[in-house]
Structure 1
Amino acid sequence: MMKRLAAVVLGLVLACTAGKAAFAADTLADVKKKGVLVAGVKDSLPPFGYVDEKSREIVGYDVDIVKAIAKKLGVRVELKPVTSASRMPQLMEGNIDIIAATMTKNPERAKQIGFSHTYFATGQKFITKKGSVRSLKDLAGKKIGTAKGSTSEQNVKKAIPTATVLSFDDYPQAFLALQQGKVAAVTTDEAILAGILAKAPNKAKFEIPNVQISDEPYGLGMRKDDVKFIAFVNKTLLEMEKSGEARRIFEKWFGPSTAFHLKRNFKFKAD
Protein backbone atom coordinates (compact mmCIF):
# COMPACT_ATOMS: atom_id res chain seq x y z
CA MET A 1 0.00 0.00 0.00
CA MET A 2 2.79 2.40 0.94
CA LYS A 3 4.70 1.55 -2.25
CA ARG A 4 1.57 2.19 -4.33
CA LEU A 5 0.98 5.53 -2.57
CA ALA A 6 4.62 6.55 -3.12
CA ALA A 7 4.30 5.67 -6.81
CA VAL A 8 1.16 7.79 -7.14
CA VAL A 9 2.81 10.75 -5.40
CA LEU A 10 5.89 10.42 -7.61
CA GLY A 11 3.70 10.27 -10.68
CA LEU A 12 1.88 13.45 -9.68
CA VAL A 13 5.19 15.24 -9.08
CA LEU A 14 6.54 14.18 -12.47
CA ALA A 15 3.30 15.18 -14.18
CA CYS A 16 3.38 18.56 -12.49
CA THR A 17 7.00 19.08 -13.48
CA ALA A 18 6.28 18.08 -17.05
CA GLY A 19 3.31 20.42 -17.11
CA LYS A 20 5.44 23.34 -15.99
CA ALA A 21 8.09 22.55 -18.59
CA ALA A 22 5.45 22.37 -21.32
CA PHE A 23 3.95 25.64 -20.14
CA ALA A 24 7.32 27.33 -20.33
CA ALA A 25 8.09 25.90 -23.76
CA ASP A 26 4.71 26.92 -25.22
CA THR A 27 4.66 30.59 -24.20
CA LEU A 28 4.98 31.84 -27.78
CA ALA A 29 2.04 29.74 -28.96
CA ASP A 30 0.07 30.47 -25.79
CA VAL A 31 0.46 34.25 -26.18
CA LYS A 32 -0.70 34.07 -29.80
CA LYS A 33 -3.65 31.91 -28.83
CA LYS A 34 -4.89 34.16 -26.00
CA GLY A 35 -4.10 37.32 -27.96
CA VAL A 36 -2.33 39.10 -25.13
CA LEU A 37 1.26 39.43 -23.90
CA VAL A 38 1.39 39.95 -20.13
CA ALA A 39 4.46 42.03 -19.26
CA GLY A 40 5.87 42.82 -15.83
CA VAL A 41 6.99 46.46 -15.74
CA LYS A 42 7.95 49.11 -13.20
CA ASP A 43 5.26 51.73 -12.53
CA SER A 44 7.18 54.35 -10.53
CA LEU A 45 10.53 54.54 -12.30
CA PRO A 46 10.76 57.16 -15.06
CA PRO A 47 11.76 57.04 -17.84
CA PHE A 48 11.58 53.21 -17.92
CA GLY A 49 8.10 52.65 -16.48
CA TYR A 50 5.81 55.02 -14.60
CA VAL A 51 2.19 56.20 -14.43
CA ASP A 52 1.55 59.18 -16.70
CA GLU A 53 -0.28 61.93 -14.81
CA LYS A 54 -2.65 62.72 -17.71
CA SER A 55 -3.52 59.33 -19.13
CA ARG A 56 -3.10 57.42 -15.82
CA GLU A 57 -1.49 54.67 -17.89
CA ILE A 58 1.95 53.11 -17.44
CA VAL A 59 4.37 54.50 -19.99
CA GLY A 60 8.13 54.48 -20.54
CA TYR A 61 11.09 53.08 -22.41
CA ASP A 62 10.62 49.48 -21.24
CA VAL A 63 6.90 49.73 -21.99
CA ASP A 64 7.54 50.86 -25.58
CA ILE A 65 10.05 48.04 -26.11
CA VAL A 66 7.60 45.38 -24.98
CA LYS A 67 4.76 47.00 -26.97
CA ALA A 68 6.88 46.70 -30.11
CA ILE A 69 7.37 42.98 -29.40
CA ALA A 70 3.62 42.51 -28.88
CA LYS A 71 2.90 44.33 -32.14
CA LYS A 72 5.23 41.95 -33.97
CA LEU A 73 3.32 39.06 -32.38
CA GLY A 74 0.00 40.59 -33.41
CA VAL A 75 -1.34 40.72 -29.85
CA ARG A 76 -2.17 43.38 -27.30
CA VAL A 77 -0.15 44.12 -24.15
CA GLU A 78 -1.32 43.77 -20.58
CA LEU A 79 1.00 45.59 -18.17
CA LYS A 80 1.42 44.30 -14.63
CA PRO A 81 3.42 46.38 -12.11
CA VAL A 82 6.34 44.53 -10.52
CA THR A 83 9.14 45.44 -8.15
CA SER A 84 12.79 44.39 -8.28
CA ALA A 85 12.04 41.71 -5.70
CA SER A 86 8.78 40.39 -7.22
CA ARG A 87 9.54 40.32 -10.95
CA MET A 88 11.33 36.95 -11.14
CA PRO A 89 8.86 35.09 -8.87
CA GLN A 90 5.97 36.54 -10.91
CA LEU A 91 7.56 35.20 -14.10
CA MET A 92 8.40 31.76 -12.74
CA GLU A 93 4.91 31.37 -11.23
CA GLY A 94 3.36 32.07 -14.64
CA ASN A 95 1.67 35.35 -13.70
CA ILE A 96 3.52 37.26 -16.43
CA ASP A 97 5.02 36.21 -19.78
CA ILE A 98 7.97 38.57 -19.92
CA ILE A 99 9.87 40.97 -17.64
CA ALA A 100 10.58 44.44 -19.02
CA ALA A 101 11.68 46.11 -15.82
CA THR A 102 15.26 47.47 -15.80
CA MET A 103 16.63 44.01 -15.00
CA THR A 104 20.39 43.49 -15.11
CA LYS A 105 21.61 40.26 -16.66
CA ASN A 106 23.99 38.28 -14.46
CA PRO A 107 25.05 34.63 -14.04
CA GLU A 108 23.04 34.10 -10.85
CA ARG A 109 19.76 35.20 -12.44
CA ALA A 110 20.55 33.31 -15.66
CA LYS A 111 20.50 30.07 -13.65
CA GLN A 112 16.80 30.67 -12.96
CA ILE A 113 15.43 32.51 -16.00
CA GLY A 114 16.27 33.20 -19.64
CA PHE A 115 17.35 36.60 -20.98
CA SER A 116 17.07 38.42 -24.28
CA HIS A 117 19.95 40.22 -25.92
CA THR A 118 21.08 43.30 -23.99
CA TYR A 119 18.68 46.13 -24.92
CA PHE A 120 20.06 48.86 -22.65
CA ALA A 121 23.45 49.39 -21.01
CA THR A 122 24.25 51.59 -18.06
CA GLY A 123 26.36 51.54 -14.87
CA GLN A 124 25.67 51.77 -11.15
CA LYS A 125 26.27 55.17 -9.54
CA PHE A 126 24.84 57.30 -6.70
CA ILE A 127 22.60 60.29 -6.04
CA THR A 128 24.03 62.41 -3.23
CA LYS A 129 23.70 65.88 -1.82
CA LYS A 130 25.65 68.24 -4.05
CA GLY A 131 29.35 68.39 -3.18
CA SER A 132 29.20 65.68 -0.50
CA VAL A 133 30.80 62.79 -2.42
CA ARG A 134 33.85 62.70 -4.67
CA SER A 135 34.95 59.08 -4.20
CA LEU A 136 33.79 55.83 -2.58
CA LYS A 137 35.78 56.76 0.52
CA ASP A 138 33.26 59.54 1.19
CA LEU A 139 30.54 56.88 1.59
CA ALA A 140 32.46 54.58 3.94
CA GLY A 141 30.46 53.89 7.10
CA LYS A 142 27.44 55.80 5.76
CA LYS A 143 23.83 54.70 5.21
CA ILE A 144 23.00 54.06 1.56
CA GLY A 145 19.52 53.46 0.15
CA THR A 146 18.58 51.14 -2.71
CA ALA A 147 15.81 48.69 -3.74
CA LYS A 148 15.14 45.22 -2.38
CA GLY A 149 16.05 42.33 -4.65
CA SER A 150 18.19 44.42 -7.00
CA THR A 151 21.74 43.90 -8.21
CA SER A 152 22.37 47.41 -6.86
CA GLU A 153 21.80 46.04 -3.36
CA GLN A 154 24.45 43.34 -3.88
CA ASN A 155 26.96 45.56 -5.70
CA VAL A 156 27.06 48.33 -3.10
CA LYS A 157 27.62 45.85 -0.26
CA LYS A 158 30.68 44.53 -2.11
CA ALA A 159 31.97 47.96 -3.14
CA ILE A 160 31.57 49.60 0.30
CA PRO A 161 31.64 46.87 2.98
CA THR A 162 31.54 49.38 5.84
CA ALA A 163 28.35 51.06 4.60
CA THR A 164 24.92 50.25 6.03
CA VAL A 165 22.62 49.38 3.14
CA LEU A 166 18.94 50.22 3.68
CA SER A 167 16.69 48.43 1.18
CA PHE A 168 13.35 49.95 0.17
CA ASP A 169 10.48 48.62 -1.96
CA ASP A 170 11.50 50.91 -4.80
CA TYR A 171 14.00 53.64 -5.71
CA PRO A 172 11.64 56.63 -5.26
CA GLN A 173 11.23 55.58 -1.61
CA ALA A 174 15.01 55.42 -1.27
CA PHE A 175 15.31 58.90 -2.77
CA LEU A 176 12.70 60.20 -0.32
CA ALA A 177 14.91 58.86 2.49
CA LEU A 178 17.82 60.83 1.01
CA GLN A 179 15.72 63.99 0.91
CA GLN A 180 14.78 63.43 4.55
CA GLY A 181 18.42 62.93 5.55
CA LYS A 182 17.94 59.29 6.52
CA VAL A 183 20.58 58.07 4.05
CA ALA A 184 23.71 59.71 2.61
CA ALA A 185 23.15 58.38 -0.90
CA VAL A 186 20.86 56.38 -3.16
CA THR A 187 22.45 53.87 -5.49
CA THR A 188 21.29 52.12 -8.65
CA ASP A 189 21.87 52.36 -12.39
CA GLU A 190 22.79 55.81 -13.71
CA ALA A 191 19.88 55.93 -16.16
CA ILE A 192 17.38 55.27 -13.35
CA LEU A 193 19.03 57.86 -11.09
CA ALA A 194 18.88 60.45 -13.87
CA GLY A 195 15.17 59.76 -14.33
CA ILE A 196 14.50 60.16 -10.60
CA LEU A 197 16.51 63.36 -10.38
CA ALA A 198 14.82 64.86 -13.44
CA LYS A 199 11.43 64.60 -11.70
CA ALA A 200 12.62 65.90 -8.31
CA PRO A 201 11.28 69.39 -7.41
CA ASN A 202 14.44 70.16 -5.42
CA LYS A 203 16.90 68.54 -7.86
CA ALA A 204 19.34 71.46 -7.61
CA LYS A 205 20.32 70.20 -4.15
CA PHE A 206 21.43 66.81 -5.48
CA GLU A 207 23.80 65.36 -8.07
CA ILE A 208 25.14 62.14 -9.55
CA PRO A 209 28.91 62.14 -8.85
CA ASN A 210 31.23 60.48 -11.35
CA VAL A 211 31.64 57.42 -9.12
CA GLN A 212 30.71 54.13 -10.79
CA ILE A 213 30.87 50.68 -9.19
CA SER A 214 29.58 48.35 -11.93
CA ASP A 215 28.37 47.87 -15.50
CA GLU A 216 24.66 47.03 -15.82
CA PRO A 217 23.40 45.37 -19.05
CA TYR A 218 19.59 45.09 -19.14
CA GLY A 219 17.80 42.08 -20.62
CA LEU A 220 14.15 41.13 -21.05
CA GLY A 221 13.40 38.18 -18.77
CA MET A 222 11.59 35.02 -19.90
CA ARG A 223 11.22 31.51 -18.53
CA LYS A 224 14.49 29.63 -18.83
CA ASP A 225 13.41 26.79 -21.14
CA ASP A 226 11.27 29.05 -23.32
CA VAL A 227 13.57 28.61 -26.34
CA LYS A 228 11.11 29.61 -29.08
CA PHE A 229 9.90 32.70 -27.26
CA ILE A 230 13.42 33.87 -26.40
CA ALA A 231 14.47 33.38 -30.04
CA PHE A 232 11.44 35.36 -31.25
CA VAL A 233 12.15 38.24 -28.86
CA ASN A 234 15.82 38.37 -29.86
CA LYS A 235 14.95 38.34 -33.56
CA THR A 236 12.46 41.17 -32.99
CA LEU A 237 15.00 43.27 -31.08
CA LEU A 238 17.55 42.94 -33.88
CA GLU A 239 14.91 43.84 -36.47
CA MET A 240 14.04 46.93 -34.41
CA GLU A 241 17.71 47.86 -34.42
CA LYS A 242 17.98 47.48 -38.17
CA SER A 243 14.77 49.40 -38.96
CA GLY A 244 15.64 52.34 -36.70
CA GLU A 245 12.71 51.71 -34.35
CA ALA A 246 15.09 51.03 -31.46
CA ARG A 247 16.76 54.39 -31.95
CA ARG A 248 13.42 56.21 -32.18
CA ILE A 249 12.25 54.68 -28.89
CA PHE A 250 15.55 55.50 -27.24
CA GLU A 251 15.50 59.15 -28.35
CA LYS A 252 11.84 59.49 -27.32
CA TRP A 253 12.77 58.81 -23.70
CA PHE A 254 16.38 59.98 -23.47
CA GLY A 255 16.59 62.68 -26.13
CA PRO A 256 18.86 62.99 -29.20
CA SER A 257 21.73 64.49 -27.19
CA THR A 258 22.45 62.57 -24.03
CA ALA A 259 25.45 61.07 -22.29
CA PHE A 260 23.71 57.70 -22.33
CA HIS A 261 24.26 57.55 -26.09
CA LEU A 262 27.93 56.92 -25.40
CA LYS A 263 27.08 53.68 -23.60
CA ARG A 264 23.90 52.64 -25.36
CA ASN A 265 24.83 53.76 -28.93
CA PHE A 266 21.60 52.18 -30.20
CA LYS A 267 23.04 48.68 -30.36
CA PHE A 268 21.21 45.66 -29.00
CA LYS A 269 24.04 43.36 -28.00
CA ALA A 270 23.67 39.85 -29.38
CA ASP A 271 25.24 37.86 -26.57
Structure 2
Amino acid sequence: MYLRILLRTFFVFVFCLHNPLGAWAQDTLSMVAKTGELRLGHRDNSRPFSYRDPATGQVMGYSVDICTKIYDEVKKELKRPDLRLTYVLVDGKNRLSDLKNRTVDLECGTTTNTAERQKEIAFSHHIFIATTAFVVRKDSGIKTLDDLQGKRIAVERKTTNDSLLVANERTFHRKFVYVLVDSAQQSLAALTRGEADAAFADDASLWVPMTQLGKSMGEYHFLEKRLSMEPYSIGLRRDDPRFKDLVDRVTRRTIQSGEMSALYKKWFNSDQGVLPMSAFMREALKRPSDVGVEQIAF
Protein backbone atom coordinates (compact mmCIF):
# COMPACT_ATOMS: atom_id res chain seq x y z
CA MET A 1 0.00 0.00 0.00
CA TYR A 2 2.79 2.40 0.97
CA LEU A 3 4.67 1.50 -2.24
CA ARG A 4 1.55 2.19 -4.35
CA ILE A 5 1.12 5.65 -2.81
CA LEU A 6 4.82 6.36 -3.26
CA LEU A 7 4.68 5.37 -6.94
CA ARG A 8 1.58 7.50 -7.53
CA THR A 9 3.29 10.49 -5.94
CA PHE A 10 6.38 9.87 -8.08
CA PHE A 11 4.37 9.80 -11.32
CA VAL A 12 2.54 13.00 -10.40
CA PHE A 13 5.90 14.64 -9.68
CA VAL A 14 7.28 13.52 -13.08
CA PHE A 15 4.13 14.78 -14.84
CA CYS A 16 4.60 18.19 -13.22
CA LEU A 17 8.19 18.34 -14.39
CA HIS A 18 7.25 17.67 -17.99
CA ASN A 19 4.03 19.69 -17.97
CA PRO A 20 4.55 23.15 -16.53
CA LEU A 21 1.80 25.35 -15.15
CA GLY A 22 0.15 25.68 -18.57
CA ALA A 23 -0.85 22.00 -18.43
CA TRP A 24 -2.86 22.64 -15.29
CA ALA A 25 -4.36 25.94 -16.36
CA GLN A 26 -7.94 25.99 -17.54
CA ASP A 27 -8.56 26.62 -21.21
CA THR A 28 -10.13 29.99 -22.02
CA LEU A 29 -13.65 28.72 -22.71
CA SER A 30 -13.75 26.74 -19.45
CA MET A 31 -12.50 29.75 -17.53
CA VAL A 32 -15.02 32.08 -19.21
CA ALA A 33 -17.83 29.65 -18.43
CA LYS A 34 -16.75 29.64 -14.79
CA THR A 35 -16.39 33.42 -14.38
CA GLY A 36 -19.35 34.36 -16.57
CA GLU A 37 -17.39 37.00 -18.50
CA LEU A 38 -15.17 37.42 -21.56
CA ARG A 39 -12.51 40.09 -21.11
CA LEU A 40 -11.72 42.13 -24.22
CA GLY A 41 -8.52 44.19 -24.32
CA HIS A 42 -8.93 47.47 -26.23
CA ARG A 43 -6.78 50.50 -26.98
CA ASP A 44 -7.48 54.03 -25.79
CA ASN A 45 -7.16 55.94 -29.06
CA SER A 46 -6.16 53.67 -31.96
CA ARG A 47 -8.75 55.03 -34.38
CA PRO A 48 -10.47 53.61 -36.29
CA PHE A 49 -9.46 50.17 -34.98
CA SER A 50 -9.92 50.32 -31.22
CA TYR A 51 -10.77 53.31 -29.04
CA ARG A 52 -13.13 54.75 -26.45
CA ASP A 53 -15.42 57.45 -27.76
CA PRO A 54 -14.82 60.55 -25.59
CA ALA A 55 -18.42 61.70 -25.95
CA THR A 56 -20.20 58.46 -25.02
CA GLY A 57 -17.48 56.40 -23.32
CA GLN A 58 -18.34 53.52 -25.64
CA VAL A 59 -15.54 51.20 -26.79
CA MET A 60 -15.66 50.85 -30.57
CA GLY A 61 -13.71 50.33 -33.76
CA TYR A 62 -13.00 47.94 -36.61
CA SER A 63 -11.07 45.44 -34.45
CA VAL A 64 -13.63 45.73 -31.65
CA ASP A 65 -16.47 44.85 -34.04
CA ILE A 66 -14.64 41.65 -35.01
CA CYS A 67 -14.01 40.78 -31.35
CA THR A 68 -17.70 41.34 -30.63
CA LYS A 69 -18.50 38.67 -33.22
CA ILE A 70 -16.15 36.31 -31.35
CA TYR A 71 -17.99 37.15 -28.11
CA ASP A 72 -21.33 36.25 -29.76
CA GLU A 73 -19.86 32.91 -30.87
CA VAL A 74 -18.58 32.21 -27.34
CA LYS A 75 -22.10 32.77 -25.97
CA LYS A 76 -23.47 30.21 -28.44
CA GLU A 77 -20.67 27.73 -27.79
CA LEU A 78 -21.18 27.88 -24.03
CA LYS A 79 -24.96 28.27 -24.25
CA ARG A 80 -24.61 31.35 -22.07
CA PRO A 81 -26.77 34.22 -23.41
CA ASP A 82 -26.10 35.97 -20.08
CA LEU A 83 -22.33 36.03 -20.63
CA ARG A 84 -20.84 39.45 -19.78
CA LEU A 85 -18.46 41.30 -22.08
CA THR A 86 -15.93 43.28 -20.04
CA TYR A 87 -13.70 45.89 -21.69
CA VAL A 88 -10.17 46.25 -20.33
CA LEU A 89 -7.80 49.02 -21.44
CA VAL A 90 -4.39 47.79 -22.66
CA ASP A 91 -1.49 49.67 -24.20
CA GLY A 92 1.45 48.95 -26.47
CA LYS A 93 3.68 47.86 -23.59
CA ASN A 94 1.36 45.51 -21.70
CA ARG A 95 -0.97 44.11 -24.37
CA LEU A 96 0.93 40.82 -24.78
CA SER A 97 1.63 40.30 -21.08
CA ASP A 98 -2.01 41.06 -20.26
CA LEU A 99 -3.01 38.18 -22.52
CA LYS A 100 -0.47 35.79 -21.05
CA ASN A 101 -1.38 36.56 -17.44
CA ARG A 102 -5.13 36.29 -18.18
CA THR A 103 -5.94 39.94 -17.57
CA VAL A 104 -7.70 39.81 -20.95
CA ASP A 105 -8.89 36.94 -23.16
CA LEU A 106 -8.70 38.77 -26.51
CA GLU A 107 -6.46 41.65 -27.61
CA CYS A 108 -8.39 43.78 -30.06
CA GLY A 109 -6.26 46.58 -31.43
CA THR A 110 -3.55 47.06 -34.05
CA THR A 111 -1.09 44.31 -33.17
CA THR A 112 1.04 43.02 -36.04
CA ASN A 113 1.11 39.23 -36.34
CA THR A 114 4.83 38.43 -36.47
CA ALA A 115 6.76 35.17 -36.21
CA GLU A 116 8.55 36.55 -33.16
CA ARG A 117 5.32 37.45 -31.33
CA GLN A 118 3.89 34.00 -32.09
CA LYS A 119 6.45 32.68 -29.62
CA GLU A 120 4.47 34.52 -26.91
CA ILE A 121 0.82 34.52 -28.00
CA ALA A 122 -1.45 33.11 -30.71
CA PHE A 123 -3.22 35.10 -33.39
CA SER A 124 -6.42 34.99 -35.41
CA HIS A 125 -6.48 35.18 -39.18
CA HIS A 126 -5.22 38.52 -40.47
CA ILE A 127 -7.98 41.13 -40.15
CA PHE A 128 -6.17 44.08 -41.74
CA ILE A 129 -3.02 44.57 -43.79
CA ALA A 130 -1.38 47.88 -42.96
CA THR A 131 1.00 49.26 -45.58
CA THR A 132 3.38 52.18 -45.60
CA ALA A 133 2.14 54.66 -48.17
CA PHE A 134 2.77 58.04 -49.73
CA VAL A 135 0.08 60.74 -49.81
CA VAL A 136 0.48 63.54 -52.35
CA ARG A 137 -1.61 66.33 -53.80
CA LYS A 138 -3.60 65.14 -56.80
CA ASP A 139 -2.43 68.13 -58.83
CA SER A 140 1.26 67.63 -57.96
CA GLY A 141 2.04 65.52 -61.01
CA ILE A 142 3.57 62.87 -58.72
CA LYS A 143 2.40 59.44 -59.83
CA THR A 144 5.33 57.09 -59.10
CA LEU A 145 8.28 56.86 -56.72
CA ASP A 146 10.56 58.03 -59.50
CA ASP A 147 8.57 61.27 -59.50
CA LEU A 148 9.60 61.73 -55.85
CA GLN A 149 13.27 62.03 -56.82
CA GLY A 150 14.64 65.12 -55.04
CA LYS A 151 11.24 65.86 -53.45
CA ARG A 152 10.53 66.70 -49.80
CA ILE A 153 9.01 63.79 -47.88
CA ALA A 154 7.52 64.28 -44.41
CA VAL A 155 8.16 61.19 -42.28
CA GLU A 156 8.17 60.42 -38.56
CA ARG A 157 11.71 60.43 -37.21
CA LYS A 158 13.40 57.32 -35.75
CA THR A 159 10.84 54.87 -37.10
CA THR A 160 10.88 51.92 -39.47
CA ASN A 161 9.36 54.28 -42.02
CA ASP A 162 12.36 56.58 -42.33
CA SER A 163 14.55 53.45 -42.47
CA LEU A 164 12.45 52.20 -45.38
CA LEU A 165 13.05 55.45 -47.26
CA VAL A 166 16.80 55.17 -46.71
CA ALA A 167 16.75 51.57 -47.96
CA ASN A 168 14.73 52.59 -51.00
CA GLU A 169 17.20 55.35 -51.81
CA ARG A 170 20.11 52.94 -51.57
CA THR A 171 18.47 50.17 -53.60
CA PHE A 172 17.05 52.29 -56.42
CA HIS A 173 19.61 55.11 -56.42
CA ARG A 174 17.05 57.74 -55.48
CA LYS A 175 17.48 60.82 -53.32
CA PHE A 176 14.78 62.23 -51.07
CA VAL A 177 14.74 65.38 -48.96
CA TYR A 178 13.61 64.46 -45.45
CA VAL A 179 11.15 66.60 -43.49
CA LEU A 180 11.31 64.93 -40.07
CA VAL A 181 8.22 65.09 -37.84
CA ASP A 182 6.94 63.38 -34.69
CA SER A 183 3.76 61.65 -35.93
CA ALA A 184 1.79 60.59 -38.99
CA GLN A 185 -0.60 63.46 -38.32
CA GLN A 186 2.30 65.93 -38.43
CA SER A 187 3.55 64.44 -41.70
CA LEU A 188 0.17 65.10 -43.30
CA ALA A 189 0.09 68.60 -41.80
CA ALA A 190 3.49 69.35 -43.39
CA LEU A 191 2.07 68.27 -46.75
CA THR A 192 -1.07 70.40 -46.44
CA ARG A 193 0.97 73.46 -45.40
CA GLY A 194 3.20 73.07 -48.45
CA GLU A 195 6.27 72.20 -46.36
CA ALA A 196 6.54 68.77 -48.00
CA ASP A 197 5.69 67.26 -51.37
CA ALA A 198 4.57 63.94 -49.86
CA ALA A 199 3.63 62.45 -46.50
CA PHE A 200 4.90 58.93 -45.78
CA ALA A 201 3.43 56.73 -43.01
CA ASP A 202 1.19 53.76 -42.31
CA ASP A 203 -1.89 54.14 -44.53
CA ALA A 204 -4.34 53.59 -41.67
CA SER A 205 -2.46 56.11 -39.49
CA LEU A 206 -2.76 58.72 -42.25
CA TRP A 207 -6.42 57.98 -42.89
CA VAL A 208 -7.86 59.50 -39.70
CA PRO A 209 -6.10 62.89 -40.02
CA MET A 210 -7.04 62.90 -43.72
CA THR A 211 -10.74 62.60 -42.88
CA GLN A 212 -10.35 65.65 -40.63
CA LEU A 213 -9.44 67.77 -43.65
CA GLY A 214 -13.10 67.99 -44.61
CA LYS A 215 -13.84 68.79 -48.23
CA SER A 216 -10.18 69.47 -48.98
CA MET A 217 -9.47 65.77 -48.41
CA GLY A 218 -10.41 65.28 -52.05
CA GLU A 219 -7.31 67.22 -53.07
CA TYR A 220 -5.03 64.38 -51.87
CA HIS A 221 -4.61 60.71 -52.66
CA PHE A 222 -2.40 57.68 -51.94
CA LEU A 223 0.16 56.51 -54.46
CA GLU A 224 -0.43 52.89 -55.48
CA LYS A 225 3.13 51.85 -54.56
CA ARG A 226 3.62 50.68 -50.96
CA LEU A 227 6.97 50.01 -49.29
CA SER A 228 6.03 47.49 -46.59
CA MET A 229 3.19 45.48 -45.14
CA GLU A 230 2.18 44.49 -41.61
CA PRO A 231 -0.76 42.13 -40.99
CA TYR A 232 -2.92 42.96 -37.96
CA SER A 233 -4.60 40.08 -36.09
CA ILE A 234 -6.63 39.50 -32.94
CA GLY A 235 -4.40 38.23 -30.12
CA LEU A 236 -5.22 35.29 -27.84
CA ARG A 237 -3.32 32.91 -25.57
CA ARG A 238 -1.10 30.17 -26.97
CA ASP A 239 -1.63 26.45 -26.43
CA ASP A 240 -5.41 26.73 -26.29
CA PRO A 241 -6.61 24.85 -29.41
CA ARG A 242 -10.28 24.88 -28.44
CA PHE A 243 -10.45 28.68 -28.21
CA LYS A 244 -8.19 29.11 -31.24
CA ASP A 245 -10.55 26.95 -33.31
CA LEU A 246 -13.51 29.11 -32.24
CA VAL A 247 -11.70 32.38 -33.06
CA ASP A 248 -10.58 31.02 -36.44
CA ARG A 249 -14.10 29.87 -37.20
CA VAL A 250 -15.42 33.38 -36.62
CA THR A 251 -12.72 35.25 -38.52
CA ARG A 252 -12.84 32.82 -41.46
CA ARG A 253 -16.63 33.15 -41.68
CA THR A 254 -16.40 36.94 -41.40
CA ILE A 255 -13.87 37.04 -44.24
CA GLN A 256 -15.59 34.54 -46.55
CA SER A 257 -19.10 35.93 -46.07
CA GLY A 258 -18.06 39.43 -47.09
CA GLU A 259 -18.74 40.83 -43.61
CA MET A 260 -15.12 41.93 -43.18
CA SER A 261 -15.27 43.86 -46.45
CA ALA A 262 -18.40 45.56 -45.14
CA LEU A 263 -16.64 46.42 -41.86
CA TYR A 264 -13.75 47.88 -43.87
CA LYS A 265 -16.16 50.18 -45.69
CA LYS A 266 -17.85 51.08 -42.42
CA TRP A 267 -14.69 52.15 -40.61
CA PHE A 268 -12.57 53.46 -43.47
CA ASN A 269 -15.23 55.65 -44.95
CA SER A 270 -15.87 59.38 -44.80
CA ASP A 271 -17.96 61.91 -46.66
CA GLN A 272 -15.01 62.27 -49.03
CA GLY A 273 -14.64 58.57 -49.86
CA VAL A 274 -13.20 55.24 -48.72
CA LEU A 275 -9.57 54.46 -47.90
CA PRO A 276 -8.40 52.56 -51.01
CA MET A 277 -8.03 48.87 -50.19
CA SER A 278 -4.46 47.74 -50.88
CA ALA A 279 -3.67 44.70 -53.00
CA PHE A 280 -2.40 42.99 -49.84
CA MET A 281 -5.71 43.56 -48.04
CA ARG A 282 -7.65 42.26 -51.04
CA GLU A 283 -5.48 39.13 -50.98
CA ALA A 284 -6.10 38.66 -47.23
CA LEU A 285 -9.85 38.71 -47.90
CA LYS A 286 -9.46 35.98 -50.52
CA ARG A 287 -7.19 33.64 -48.56
CA PRO A 288 -7.56 33.69 -44.75
CA SER A 289 -4.19 33.20 -43.06
CA ASP A 290 -2.75 33.44 -39.56
CA VAL A 291 0.89 33.16 -40.63
CA GLY A 292 3.22 35.36 -38.60
CA VAL A 293 5.60 37.41 -40.71
CA GLU A 294 8.61 39.59 -40.36
CA GLN A 295 8.35 43.10 -41.71
CA ILE A 296 8.55 42.86 -45.49
CA ALA A 297 10.02 45.80 -47.38
CA PHE A 298 9.66 46.37 -51.12
**Structure 1, unaligned runs of 5 or more:** 1-10
Which residue in 2 is equivalent to 1:112? 120
Q: What does residue range 1-271 of structure 1 map to in structure 2 within 5 Å?
A: 18-20=20-22, 22-23=24-25, 26-74=27-75, 75-126=83-134, 135=145, 144-145=155-156, 153-154=159-160, 156-160=162-166, 174-176=184-186, 179=189, 185=199, 187-188=201-202, 190-200=203-213, 204=217, 208-255=222-269, 259-260=276-277, 263-265=280-282, 266-267=285-286, 269-271=288-290
One-letter amino acid matched to 1:144:
V
Counterpart contact for 2:154–2:200, Cα < 8 Å = no
Instruction: Provide Cα deviations, 1:120-143, integer angstroms capped at 9, x if missing partner.
Output: 224222457885986497699977
Shift of 1:192: 3.4
Q: Secondary structure at the match of 2:104?
A: coil
Deviations 1:205-233 (A, max 9, x none): 87644442112222111122222211110
What is the one-letter code of the residue matched to 1:246?
M
Identical pairs, percent: 26
1:254 and 1:99 mapped to 2: Cα distance?
Answer: 21
The one-letter amino acid paired with 2:155 is I
Paired with 1:106 and 1:231, the residues of 2 have a C-alpha distance of: 19
Deviations 1:103-129 (A, max 9, x none): 222212222221111222242224578
Distance 1:112 1:155 in 2: 25
RMSD of aligned C-alpha atoms?
A: 4.1
Structure-1 separation of matches of 2:28 and 2:180:
37
Q: For structure 2, which runs of at least 5 residues remain unmatched after alignment?
A: 1-12, 76-82, 170-175, 291-298
- What TM-score, normalized by structure 2, do the two folds share? 0.64
- Structure 1-normalised TM-score? 0.69
Give, in whole Å, the separation in 2 of the partners of 1:250 and 1:142.
28
